[in-house]
Amino acid sequence: MAKTSQAAGLHRASLDKLHDLDAALELMYYGWRGMTLEADAYLAKQGLSRPHHRILYVVARRPDIAIGSLLEVLGISKQALSRPLNLLQERKLVTSKRSPEQHRSKLLRLTEAGRRIEQRASDHERKVLREAFDRVGASGAAAWMAVMETIADNN
């Protein structure tokens, strides 16, 4: 997992706008990329990548989450989870213990090192958001959140 670096290039291309909302459509694409670029670079330096970060992020916010619940939250199969999760455990970024009462399920937690990496990776992403929000002020930030909520809830 993880390579040296990515394709580079990838400056926002300037394409003709055929429709009113083409600019917005492209901004969603480049926005996602802009937010994750530095975090991905940091993760790659640690020999980790996006799937590992997703696991760390969720476990950080749901200590003692069971494997099954983690699968639900991530929306992937257990087979897809196993490789990145095993790596995180080998690296001692995540620990698991059996539940005292529900002995069937395994409860996951981050170690101190896991918390540190999760924080640093997420910090890169939050930094980009913070800078953008600072430029538009609180009302602009609120509008951004409102738009994104509507889009996100488009199931």
Partner DNA sequence: CATCTCATGTCAACTATGTTGACTTGAGAT
Partner DNA sequence: ATCTCAAGTCAACATAGTTGACATGAGATG
Residue from the set 46, 96, 111, 122 that interacts with DNA by CB under 7 A: 96
Choosing among DNA, its own copies, none, which partner's interface includes residue 104 (Cβ < 5 to 8 Å by kind)? DNA
CA distance 89 to 76: 18
Residue 48 CB neighbours (<10 A): 23
Choosing among DNA, its own copies, none, which partner's interface includes residue 90 (Cβ < 5 to 8 Å by kind)? none
Range list of β-strands (E), 53-104: 65-66, 94-98
Least CB distance to DNA at residue 72 (A): 9
CA distance 77 to 40: 23
Helix, strand, coil percentages in the chain from 3-state DSSP, rounded to 5:
65, 10, 30
Q: 19 or 103, CB closer to its own copies?
A: 19
Q: Which positions from 41 through 70 interact with its own copies, judged by CB under 8 A? A: 57-58, 60-62
Residues 6+ apart with CB under 8 A from 62: 69, 70, 73
Contact residues for DNA, defined by CB under 7 A: 1-3, 7, 49-51, 66-69, 71, 75-80, 82-84, 86, 96, 103-106
Contact residues for its own copies, defined by CB under 8 A: 7-13, 15-25, 27-28, 30-35, 37-38, 57-58, 60-62, 72-73, 75-77, 122, 125-126, 128-133, 135-136, 139-141, 143-155
